[in-house]
């Protein structure tokens, strides 16, 4: 196990990794930190009673990208060998920094993390499209296919949110 200072550095540096670097980005930079906050928020809002392990795994699930980079989801969907190798490397990194990973979660909680991760990507892509970007269309198409391939294994709350999410802005006054 590494010391606490290195663990703190790892999670801070991991959170600053730029996501979606293969897509021209709109108004703001999309980081692992923003993504992880959104994934955790999805879980906290939709899950009736998330475990502490699931909360930690959601918050830190992409910290290894500080060392592996953010490999775009479509390449991992098309290439299972690459996906498996990256997963092994990510496990080495999370073990080194004594961080929870999806590999440490029970099956039901893995499904929550996977579903929230995919839902967050859909939300980001949908928001980018609403801002005028057509760069996300290919990712959205592949994401829809990937979601439907595993949708029956995902929690009902995630599936419902998937179907209901639309990009709208809340009114300034409420």
Taking only the tens place, the pLDDT of each residue in 33-46 is 999 999 999 999 99
Given this structure, which CATH class describes domain 4-164?
A: mainly alpha
User: What pLDDT sits at residue 111?
Assistant: 98
Full-model pTM = 0.88
Six token digits for residue 163: 């179907």
Distance CA 68, CA 93 (A): 9
Is residue 131 within 8 Å of residue 27, measured between CB atoms?
yes
CA distances to 26, 40, 79 from 8, rounded to whole Å, are 30, 19, 32
Q: What is the mean pLDDT of residues 14-27?
A: 72
**pLDDT tens, position by position, 55-105:** 999 999 999 999 998 888 778 888 999 999 999 999 999 999 999 988 899
Is residue 42 within 8 Å of residue 119, measured between CB atoms?
yes
User: What pLDDT sits at residue 122?
Assistant: 94
Domain ranges of the chain: 4-164
132: left (phi > 0), else alpha (psi -120 to 50), else beta?
Answer: left
Distance CA 156, CA 12 (A): 32
Separation of CA 134 from chain center: 21
Nearest alpha carbon to residue 113 among 131, 85, 135, 90: 90
Cβ neighbours of 26 (radius 10 Å): 17
């Amino acid at each position: 196990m590494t010391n606490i200072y290195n663990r703190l550095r790892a999670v801070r540096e991991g959170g600053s990794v730029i996501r979606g670097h293969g897509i021209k980005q709109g108004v703001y930079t999309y980081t692992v930190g923003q993504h992880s906050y959104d994934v955790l928020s999805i879980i906290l809002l939709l899950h009736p009673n998330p475990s502490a392990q699931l909360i930690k795994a959601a918050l830190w699930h992409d910290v290894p990208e500080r060392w592996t980079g953010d490999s775009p989801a479509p390449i991992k969907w098309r290439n299972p060998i690459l996906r498996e190798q990256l997963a092994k490397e990510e496990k080495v990194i999370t073990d080194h920094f004594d961080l929870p990973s999806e590999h440490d979660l029970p099956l039901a909680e893995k499904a929550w993390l996977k579903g929230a991760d995919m839902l967050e990507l859909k939300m980001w892509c949908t928001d980018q499209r609403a801002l005028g970007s057509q760069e996300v269309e290919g990712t959205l198409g592949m994401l829809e296919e990937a979601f439907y391939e595993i949708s029956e294994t995902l929690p009902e709350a995630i599936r419902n949110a998937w179907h209901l999410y639309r990009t709208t802005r809340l009114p300034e006054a409420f």
